[in-house]
Protein backbone atom coordinates (compact mmCIF):
# COMPACT_ATOMS: atom_id res chain seq x y z
CA UNK A 1 0.00 0.00 0.00
CA UNK A 2 1.36 3.41 -0.99
CA UNK A 3 1.75 5.95 1.79
CA UNK A 4 0.44 9.49 1.54
CA UNK A 5 1.84 10.78 -1.77
CA UNK A 6 0.96 14.03 -3.48
CA UNK A 7 1.71 14.04 -7.22
CA UNK A 8 1.21 16.01 -10.38
CA UNK A 9 -0.58 13.17 -12.16
CA UNK A 10 -1.64 9.56 -11.84
CA UNK A 11 -2.16 7.15 -14.73
CA UNK A 12 -4.32 4.05 -14.29
CA UNK A 13 -6.40 1.49 -16.15
CA UNK A 14 -3.66 -0.49 -17.95
CA UNK A 15 -1.23 -3.31 -17.27
CA UNK A 16 2.31 -2.05 -16.63
CA UNK A 17 5.05 -3.74 -18.66
CA UNK A 18 7.84 -2.54 -16.39
CA UNK A 19 10.80 -4.27 -18.19
CA UNK A 20 12.61 -4.35 -14.86
CA UNK A 21 15.64 -6.68 -15.20
CA UNK A 22 14.89 -6.89 -18.93
CA UNK A 23 11.74 -8.96 -18.40
CA UNK A 24 8.10 -8.00 -18.86
CA UNK A 25 7.60 -8.06 -15.05
CA UNK A 26 3.94 -7.23 -15.58
CA UNK A 27 1.86 -5.37 -13.00
CA UNK A 28 -1.78 -6.05 -13.83
CA UNK A 29 -4.22 -3.15 -13.53
CA UNK A 30 -1.41 -0.84 -12.50
CA UNK A 31 -0.99 2.80 -11.58
CA UNK A 32 1.86 5.25 -12.17
CA UNK A 33 2.17 8.42 -10.09
CA UNK A 34 4.32 11.22 -11.55
CA UNK A 35 5.89 14.21 -9.83
CA UNK A 36 8.28 16.71 -11.42
CA UNK A 37 8.62 14.61 -14.57
CA UNK A 38 9.70 11.46 -12.73
CA UNK A 39 7.93 8.34 -11.53
CA UNK A 40 7.11 8.90 -7.85
CA UNK A 41 5.33 5.58 -7.32
CA UNK A 42 3.98 2.64 -9.30
CA UNK A 43 2.19 -0.56 -8.42
CA UNK A 44 -1.27 -2.19 -8.50
CA UNK A 45 -4.07 0.36 -8.74
CA UNK A 46 -5.68 -1.18 -5.65
CA UNK A 47 -2.69 0.04 -3.61
CA UNK A 48 -2.84 3.62 -4.90
CA UNK A 49 -5.82 4.81 -2.84
CA UNK A 50 -3.75 7.19 -0.70
CA UNK A 51 -2.19 8.99 -3.70
CA UNK A 52 -3.56 12.43 -4.51
CA UNK A 53 -2.90 14.06 -7.87
CA UNK A 54 -3.97 17.18 -9.74
CA UNK A 55 -4.64 15.13 -12.88
CA UNK A 56 -5.92 11.59 -13.29
CA UNK A 57 -5.92 9.68 -16.58
CA UNK A 58 -7.60 6.29 -16.79
CA UNK A 59 -6.88 4.41 -20.00
CA UNK A 60 -9.62 1.83 -19.62
CA UNK A 61 -7.45 -1.09 -20.67
CA UNK A 62 -4.35 -1.84 -22.71
CA UNK A 63 -0.70 -1.85 -21.67
CA UNK A 64 1.88 0.74 -20.68
CA UNK A 65 5.52 0.23 -21.65
CA UNK A 66 8.59 2.36 -21.00
CA UNK A 67 9.22 4.91 -23.70
CA UNK A 68 11.15 3.27 -26.54
CA UNK A 69 14.87 3.95 -26.94
CA UNK A 70 16.45 4.11 -30.41
CA UNK A 71 20.12 3.92 -29.44
CA UNK A 72 21.79 4.01 -32.90
CA UNK A 73 20.69 6.40 -35.66
CA UNK A 74 22.20 8.61 -38.37
CA UNK A 75 19.15 10.83 -38.78
CA UNK A 76 20.96 14.09 -39.60
CA UNK A 77 22.19 14.22 -43.20
CA UNK A 78 21.66 15.99 -46.49
CA UNK A 79 19.97 14.56 -49.58
CA UNK A 80 18.84 10.97 -49.97
CA UNK A 81 19.98 7.86 -51.84
CA UNK A 82 16.75 6.33 -53.07
CA UNK A 83 18.11 6.50 -56.62
CA UNK A 84 21.04 4.30 -55.57
CA UNK A 85 18.64 1.84 -53.98
CA UNK A 86 16.89 1.61 -57.34
CA UNK A 87 20.21 1.24 -59.16
CA UNK A 88 21.26 -1.66 -56.95
CA UNK A 89 17.96 -3.42 -57.56
CA UNK A 90 18.58 -2.99 -61.29
CA UNK A 91 21.91 -4.76 -61.01
CA UNK A 92 24.39 -1.90 -60.61
CA UNK A 93 27.06 -2.86 -58.07
CA UNK A 94 27.99 -0.74 -55.07
CA UNK A 95 31.50 -0.33 -56.54
CA UNK A 96 30.03 1.02 -59.79
CA UNK A 97 27.78 3.41 -57.87
CA UNK A 98 30.75 4.64 -55.84
CA UNK A 99 32.79 5.13 -59.03
CA UNK A 100 29.96 7.36 -60.31
CA UNK A 101 30.31 9.56 -57.22
CA UNK A 102 27.61 7.78 -55.24
CA UNK A 103 27.68 5.88 -51.98
CA UNK A 104 28.58 7.63 -48.75
CA UNK A 105 30.44 10.35 -50.65
CA UNK A 106 27.18 11.50 -52.26
CA UNK A 107 25.70 11.94 -48.77
CA UNK A 108 28.85 13.73 -47.63
CA UNK A 109 28.56 16.13 -50.56
CA UNK A 110 24.87 16.85 -49.84
CA UNK A 111 25.50 17.24 -46.11
CA UNK A 112 28.34 19.69 -46.64
CA UNK A 113 26.07 21.76 -48.87
CA UNK A 114 23.19 21.81 -46.38
CA UNK A 115 22.72 24.66 -43.92
CA UNK A 116 22.15 24.11 -40.21
CA UNK A 117 18.47 24.92 -40.72
CA UNK A 118 18.14 22.44 -43.58
CA UNK A 119 19.79 19.68 -41.56
CA UNK A 120 17.47 20.32 -38.63
CA UNK A 121 14.26 20.49 -40.66
CA UNK A 122 14.95 17.38 -42.76
CA UNK A 123 15.95 15.36 -39.68
CA UNK A 124 12.85 16.45 -37.81
CA UNK A 125 10.63 15.15 -40.61
CA UNK A 126 12.25 11.75 -40.25
CA UNK A 127 12.19 11.81 -36.46
CA UNK A 128 8.44 12.48 -36.38
CA UNK A 129 7.81 8.91 -37.60
CA UNK A 130 9.83 7.47 -34.72
CA UNK A 131 8.17 9.67 -32.11
CA UNK A 132 4.72 8.64 -33.36
CA UNK A 133 5.64 5.02 -32.60
CA UNK A 134 6.58 5.63 -28.99
CA UNK A 135 10.27 6.61 -29.16
CA UNK A 136 11.09 8.98 -26.31
CA UNK A 137 14.90 8.66 -26.31
CA UNK A 138 17.21 8.54 -29.31
CA UNK A 139 20.83 8.88 -30.23
CA UNK A 140 21.95 10.68 -33.40
CA UNK A 141 25.44 10.44 -34.89
CA UNK A 142 27.47 12.81 -37.01
CA UNK A 143 29.71 11.28 -39.66
CA UNK A 144 28.43 12.60 -42.98
CA UNK A 145 30.32 15.89 -42.88
CA UNK A 146 33.85 14.48 -42.78
CA UNK A 147 35.47 17.87 -42.43
CA UNK A 148 35.74 19.98 -39.31
CA UNK A 149 33.11 22.60 -40.08
CA UNK A 150 30.53 20.13 -41.42
CA UNK A 151 30.95 17.69 -38.53
CA UNK A 152 30.52 20.55 -36.05
CA UNK A 153 27.44 21.76 -37.94
CA UNK A 154 25.92 18.29 -37.76
CA UNK A 155 26.45 18.10 -34.00
CA UNK A 156 25.05 21.60 -33.51
CA UNK A 157 22.00 20.49 -35.51
CA UNK A 158 21.60 17.51 -33.17
CA UNK A 159 21.79 19.77 -30.12
CA UNK A 160 19.19 22.10 -31.67
CA UNK A 161 16.86 19.18 -32.41
CA UNK A 162 17.17 18.13 -28.77
CA UNK A 163 15.73 21.50 -27.75
CA UNK A 164 12.81 21.29 -30.18
CA UNK A 165 11.29 17.80 -29.84
CA UNK A 166 9.64 15.89 -26.96
CA UNK A 167 12.38 13.30 -26.61
CA UNK A 168 15.73 12.92 -24.92
CA UNK A 169 18.34 13.22 -27.68
CA UNK A 170 21.98 12.20 -27.32
CA UNK A 171 24.69 13.29 -29.75
CA UNK A 172 27.55 11.04 -30.89
CA UNK A 173 30.62 12.23 -32.80
CA UNK A 174 31.24 9.74 -35.62
CA UNK A 175 33.87 11.72 -37.51
CA UNK A 176 35.79 8.44 -37.94
CA UNK A 177 32.99 7.10 -40.16
CA UNK A 178 34.82 7.08 -43.47
CA UNK A 179 37.91 8.64 -45.02
CA UNK A 180 37.09 12.07 -46.51
CA UNK A 181 37.86 12.50 -50.23
CA UNK A 182 40.55 15.02 -49.31
CA UNK A 183 42.38 12.35 -47.26
CA UNK A 184 41.85 9.40 -49.59
CA UNK A 185 45.59 8.83 -49.94
CA UNK A 186 46.35 9.68 -46.30
CA UNK A 187 43.61 8.39 -43.94
CA UNK A 188 45.92 8.79 -40.94
CA UNK A 189 45.82 12.52 -41.66
CA UNK A 190 42.08 12.57 -40.98
CA UNK A 191 42.61 10.61 -37.76
CA UNK A 192 45.11 13.30 -36.73
CA UNK A 193 42.55 16.03 -37.45
CA UNK A 194 39.94 14.20 -35.38
CA UNK A 195 42.27 13.69 -32.43
CA UNK A 196 44.16 16.99 -32.46
CA UNK A 197 41.50 19.47 -33.53
CA UNK A 198 37.96 18.17 -33.82
CA UNK A 199 37.47 16.22 -30.60
CA UNK A 200 38.95 18.94 -28.37
CA UNK A 201 36.53 21.46 -29.89
CA UNK A 202 33.60 19.05 -29.58
CA UNK A 203 34.43 18.51 -25.90
CA UNK A 204 34.93 22.22 -25.22
CA UNK A 205 31.54 23.10 -26.72
CA UNK A 206 29.72 20.14 -25.17
CA UNK A 207 28.52 18.97 -28.57
CA UNK A 208 28.77 15.21 -28.03
CA UNK A 209 27.81 12.69 -25.38
CA UNK A 210 30.00 9.95 -26.87
CA UNK A 211 32.49 9.19 -29.65
CA UNK A 212 32.00 6.45 -32.25
CA UNK A 213 34.07 5.03 -35.11
CA UNK A 214 33.69 2.50 -37.94
CA UNK A 215 36.21 -0.33 -37.61
CA UNK A 216 36.17 -2.16 -40.92
CA UNK A 217 38.46 -2.89 -43.86
CA UNK A 218 36.67 -0.20 -45.90
CA UNK A 219 36.87 2.34 -43.06
CA UNK A 220 39.42 2.41 -40.21
CA UNK A 221 41.78 -0.14 -38.69
CA UNK A 222 41.76 -1.17 -35.02
CA UNK A 223 44.98 0.82 -34.56
CA UNK A 224 43.41 3.98 -35.97
CA UNK A 225 40.28 3.49 -33.87
CA UNK A 226 42.41 3.04 -30.75
CA UNK A 227 43.97 6.46 -31.36
CA UNK A 228 40.53 8.06 -31.57
CA UNK A 229 39.31 6.25 -28.46
CA UNK A 230 42.41 7.18 -26.46
CA UNK A 231 41.86 10.85 -27.28
CA UNK A 232 38.13 10.66 -26.55
CA UNK A 233 38.69 9.12 -23.13
CA UNK A 234 41.35 11.71 -22.30
CA UNK A 235 38.65 14.32 -22.98
CA UNK A 236 36.14 12.52 -20.76
CA UNK A 237 33.96 11.21 -23.57
CA UNK A 238 32.68 7.59 -23.53
CA UNK A 239 33.08 5.52 -26.68
CA UNK A 240 31.15 3.05 -28.82
CA UNK A 241 32.00 1.31 -32.09
CA UNK A 242 30.63 0.06 -35.41
CA UNK A 243 32.31 -3.35 -35.43
CA UNK A 244 32.28 -6.74 -37.15
CA UNK A 245 29.59 -5.78 -39.66
CA UNK A 246 31.33 -7.08 -42.78
CA UNK A 247 34.39 -8.91 -41.45
CA UNK A 248 36.13 -9.96 -38.26
CA UNK A 249 38.78 -7.46 -37.18
CA UNK A 250 38.46 -7.76 -33.40
CA UNK A 251 36.88 -4.34 -33.18
CA UNK A 252 34.30 -5.35 -30.60
CA UNK A 253 37.01 -6.75 -28.30
CA UNK A 254 38.95 -3.51 -28.82
CA UNK A 255 35.85 -1.52 -27.89
CA UNK A 256 35.37 -3.63 -24.78
CA UNK A 257 38.97 -2.97 -23.65
CA UNK A 258 38.12 0.74 -23.80
CA UNK A 259 35.01 0.03 -21.68
CA UNK A 260 32.81 1.07 -24.60
CA UNK A 261 29.13 1.62 -23.96
CA UNK A 262 28.34 -0.57 -26.96
CA UNK A 263 29.64 -2.40 -30.00
CA UNK A 264 27.18 -2.29 -32.89
CA UNK A 265 26.28 -4.54 -35.87
CA UNK A 266 28.44 -7.56 -34.82
CA UNK A 267 27.48 -10.06 -37.52
CA UNK A 268 31.07 -11.37 -37.58
CA UNK A 269 31.79 -11.19 -33.83
CA UNK A 270 33.65 -14.22 -32.48
CA UNK A 271 33.35 -15.95 -29.12
CA UNK A 272 36.45 -14.13 -27.86
CA UNK A 273 34.85 -10.82 -28.88
CA UNK A 274 31.68 -11.72 -27.00
CA UNK A 275 33.63 -12.82 -23.95
CA UNK A 276 35.51 -9.50 -23.89
CA UNK A 277 32.25 -7.60 -24.15
CA UNK A 278 30.82 -9.59 -21.24
CA UNK A 279 33.89 -8.90 -19.08
CA UNK A 280 33.74 -5.14 -19.68
CA UNK A 281 29.97 -4.59 -19.68
CA UNK A 282 29.75 -3.56 -23.34
CA UNK A 283 26.25 -3.81 -24.82
CA UNK A 284 25.67 -5.57 -28.15
CA UNK A 285 23.57 -3.33 -30.42
CA UNK A 286 22.08 -5.35 -33.28
CA UNK A 287 20.74 -3.64 -36.39
CA UNK A 288 18.34 -5.82 -38.39
CA UNK A 289 17.43 -3.02 -40.81
CA UNK A 290 20.90 -2.93 -42.35
CA UNK A 291 21.11 -6.72 -42.29
CA UNK A 292 17.83 -6.88 -44.23
CA UNK A 293 18.54 -4.15 -46.78
CA UNK A 294 22.04 -5.43 -47.56
CA UNK A 295 20.71 -8.99 -47.89
CA UNK A 296 23.32 -10.24 -45.45
CA UNK A 297 23.52 -13.93 -44.63
CA UNK A 298 25.96 -13.91 -41.69
CA UNK A 299 23.79 -13.75 -38.56
CA UNK A 300 25.06 -12.06 -35.40
CA UNK A 301 25.97 -14.61 -32.71
CA UNK A 302 22.82 -14.23 -30.62
CA UNK A 303 23.33 -17.55 -28.81
CA UNK A 304 26.80 -16.44 -27.69
CA UNK A 305 25.40 -13.17 -26.37
CA UNK A 306 22.84 -15.15 -24.41
CA UNK A 307 25.43 -17.60 -23.09
CA UNK A 308 27.77 -14.85 -21.89
CA UNK A 309 24.86 -12.66 -20.72
CA UNK A 310 25.81 -9.72 -22.92
CA UNK A 311 22.81 -7.33 -23.01
CA UNK A 312 21.36 -7.10 -26.52
CA UNK A 313 19.92 -3.79 -27.71
CA UNK A 314 18.12 -3.10 -30.99
CA UNK A 315 18.03 0.10 -33.02
CA UNK A 316 16.80 1.44 -36.33
CA UNK A 317 20.25 2.46 -37.66
CA UNK A 318 18.22 5.01 -39.62
CA UNK A 319 20.54 6.23 -42.37
CA UNK A 320 20.33 7.09 -46.09
CA UNK A 321 22.46 4.24 -47.41
CA UNK A 322 21.95 0.92 -45.65
CA UNK A 323 18.95 1.28 -43.33
CA UNK A 324 16.40 3.94 -44.35
CA UNK A 325 14.24 2.71 -41.48
CA UNK A 326 11.72 5.02 -39.84
CA UNK A 327 9.99 2.41 -37.68
CA UNK A 328 11.68 1.06 -34.57
CA UNK A 329 8.70 -1.25 -34.07
CA UNK A 330 9.45 -2.89 -37.43
CA UNK A 331 12.98 -3.55 -36.16
CA UNK A 332 11.44 -5.53 -33.28
CA UNK A 333 9.68 -7.81 -35.74
CA UNK A 334 12.82 -8.16 -37.88
CA UNK A 335 14.89 -9.07 -34.82
CA UNK A 336 12.45 -11.86 -33.97
CA UNK A 337 12.06 -13.20 -37.51
CA UNK A 338 15.65 -12.73 -38.74
CA UNK A 339 17.75 -13.01 -35.57
CA UNK A 340 15.43 -15.34 -33.59
CA UNK A 341 14.92 -12.98 -30.67
CA UNK A 342 12.02 -13.70 -28.37
CA UNK A 343 9.43 -10.89 -28.15
CA UNK A 344 10.56 -10.22 -24.57
CA UNK A 345 14.19 -9.92 -25.68
CA UNK A 346 13.16 -7.60 -28.51
CA UNK A 347 11.23 -5.27 -26.20
CA UNK A 348 14.13 -5.28 -23.74
CA UNK A 349 16.33 -4.31 -26.69
CA UNK A 350 14.52 -1.01 -27.18
CA UNK A 351 13.91 -0.24 -23.50
CA UNK A 352 16.36 -1.25 -20.75
CA UNK A 353 19.16 -2.48 -23.03
CA UNK A 354 18.76 0.45 -25.40
CA UNK A 355 19.18 2.73 -22.39
CA UNK A 356 22.24 0.74 -21.28
CA UNK A 357 23.81 1.26 -24.70
CA UNK A 358 23.58 5.01 -24.07
CA UNK A 359 24.71 4.92 -20.45
CA UNK A 360 21.20 5.87 -19.30
CA UNK A 361 20.09 2.70 -17.49
CA UNK A 362 19.87 4.51 -14.13
CA UNK A 363 17.28 6.97 -15.42
CA UNK A 364 15.61 5.45 -18.49
CA UNK A 365 14.46 2.17 -20.00
CA UNK A 366 12.17 0.72 -17.31
CA UNK A 367 9.12 1.70 -15.31
CA UNK A 368 10.59 2.15 -11.83
CA UNK A 369 10.31 4.70 -9.04
CA UNK A 370 12.77 7.55 -9.51
CA UNK A 371 13.18 7.12 -13.26
CA UNK A 372 12.17 9.64 -15.88
CA UNK A 373 8.42 9.47 -16.59
CA UNK A 374 8.72 8.49 -20.25
CA UNK A 375 6.13 5.86 -21.06
CA UNK A 376 3.65 4.83 -23.74
CA UNK A 377 0.09 3.54 -23.55
CA UNK A 378 -0.89 1.01 -26.21
CA UNK A 379 -4.47 -0.28 -26.66
CA UNK A 380 -3.17 -3.83 -26.88
CA UNK A 381 -3.83 -7.01 -24.92
CA UNK A 382 -0.21 -8.12 -24.45
CA UNK A 383 3.35 -6.89 -25.14
CA UNK A 384 3.96 -9.37 -27.98
CA UNK A 385 1.41 -7.49 -30.09
CA UNK A 386 3.94 -4.66 -30.46
CA UNK A 387 6.17 -7.08 -32.34
CA UNK A 388 3.44 -9.17 -33.99
CA UNK A 389 1.78 -6.48 -36.13
CA UNK A 390 3.70 -5.83 -39.34
CA UNK A 391 3.43 -2.30 -40.71
CA UNK A 392 0.81 0.28 -40.00
CA UNK A 393 1.05 2.69 -37.12
CA UNK A 394 -0.41 1.31 -33.93
CA UNK A 395 -2.36 3.94 -32.00
CA UNK A 396 -0.58 5.00 -28.84
CA UNK A 397 -0.44 7.79 -26.28
CA UNK A 398 3.08 8.98 -25.55
CA UNK A 399 3.86 10.53 -22.17
CA UNK A 400 7.17 12.39 -22.13
CA UNK A 401 8.51 13.63 -18.82
CA UNK A 402 5.04 13.15 -17.37
CA UNK A 403 3.21 15.15 -20.07
CA UNK A 404 0.90 13.90 -22.82
CA UNK A 405 2.22 14.42 -26.34
Query: Which pLDDT tens digit goes with each residue over 8-40?
Result: 999 999 999 999 999 999 999 999 999 999 999
Q: Would the annotation count 245 as a binding residue?
A: yes
Domains and CATH numbers, the chain: 5-66+366-404 (2.30.40.10), 68-357 (3.20.20.140)
pLDDT digits (tens, 9 = 90+) for 161-189: 999 999 999 999 999 999 999 999 999 99
Q: Would the annotation count 242 as a binding residue?
A: yes
User: CB of 12 within 8 A of CB of 57?
Assistant: yes
Q: Would the annotation count 56 as a binding residue?
A: no
Q: Would the annotation count 217 as a binding residue?
A: no
Residues in the chain: 405
Q: Would the annotation count 81 as a binding residue?
A: yes
Distance CA 402, CA 405 (A): 9
- Flag whether pLDDT at 3 surpasses 80: no
- The pTM of the full predicted model, rounded to 2 decimals, is 0.96
pLDDT digits (tens, 9 = 90+) for 299-338: 999 999 999 999 999 999 999 999 999 999 999 999 999 9
Q: Would the annotation count 377 as a binding residue?
A: no
Strand order from edge to edge, sheet including 135-141: 68-70, 135-141, 168-176, 210-215, 240-243, 262-265, 283-286, 312-314
User: What average pLDDT does the chain have?
Assistant: 95
Q: Would the annotation count 280 as a binding residue?
A: no
Confidence of residue 93 (pLDDT cuts 50, 70, 90): confident
- Flag whether pLDDT at 1 surpasses 90: no
For strand 5-17 and strand 26-35, is the pairing parallel, antiparallel, or unpaired?
A: antiparallel
Specify which residues 210 forms β-bridges with: 172
Q: Would the annotation count 307 as a binding residue?
A: no
Q: Would the annotation count 374 as a binding residue?
A: no
Q: Would the annotation count 388 as a binding residue?
A: no
Secondary structure of 14-68 as H, E, C letters: EEEECCHHHCCCEEEEEEEEEECCEEEEEEEHHHCCCEEEEEEEECCCCEEEECE
Q: Would the annotation count 74 as a binding residue?
A: yes
Amino acid sequence: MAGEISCDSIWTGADLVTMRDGRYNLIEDGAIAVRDGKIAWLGPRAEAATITAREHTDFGGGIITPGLVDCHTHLVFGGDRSHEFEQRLNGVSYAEIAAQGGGIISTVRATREASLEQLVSSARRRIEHLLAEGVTTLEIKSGYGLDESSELRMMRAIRQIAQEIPADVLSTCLAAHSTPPEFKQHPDGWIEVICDRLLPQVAAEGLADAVDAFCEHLAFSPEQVARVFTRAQALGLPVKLHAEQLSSLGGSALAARFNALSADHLEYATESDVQAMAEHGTVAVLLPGAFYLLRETQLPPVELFRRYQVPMALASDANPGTSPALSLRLMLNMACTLFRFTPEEALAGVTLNGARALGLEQSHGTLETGKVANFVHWPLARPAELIYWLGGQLPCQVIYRGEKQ
